[in-house]
Amino acid sequence: MYLHIGGEYTLPSRFIIGIFDLESVSSTQKDMIQFMSHMEKEEKVEYISEEIPRSVVVTYEKIYFTPISTMTLLKRVKNE
């Protein structure tokens, strides 16, 4: 199965570790913020579009910031 995460990006669902809502990633979730900073430094971050990101899709190799809501992405996963 594949998940369309926006733009021209489609990922094999077996490589997706998690899908997170950016609003829920606040300053109290220091581990996630540190992880995203680390991935940015390692140049393992993809921004799907210039729109404001709403979700983060974490895979084994990269993280993707997408303007598609977490709920929409989860519905797409369930429909596959």
> How many domains would you assign to the chain?
1
Range of the domain at 13: 2-79
pLDDT score for 69: 96
In the block, tokens 């990006």 appear at 9
Cα–Cα distance between 19 and 73 in angstroms, integer? 8
Global pTM reads 0.90
Q: What is the pLDDT of residues 1-41, one digit of tens each?
A: 899 999 999 999 899 999 999 888 866 688 888 999 999 99
**Residue 77 to residues 9, 33, 35, 80, Cα–Cα distance (Å):** 15, 25, 24, 5
Contact of 39 with 73, CB cutoff 8 Å? no
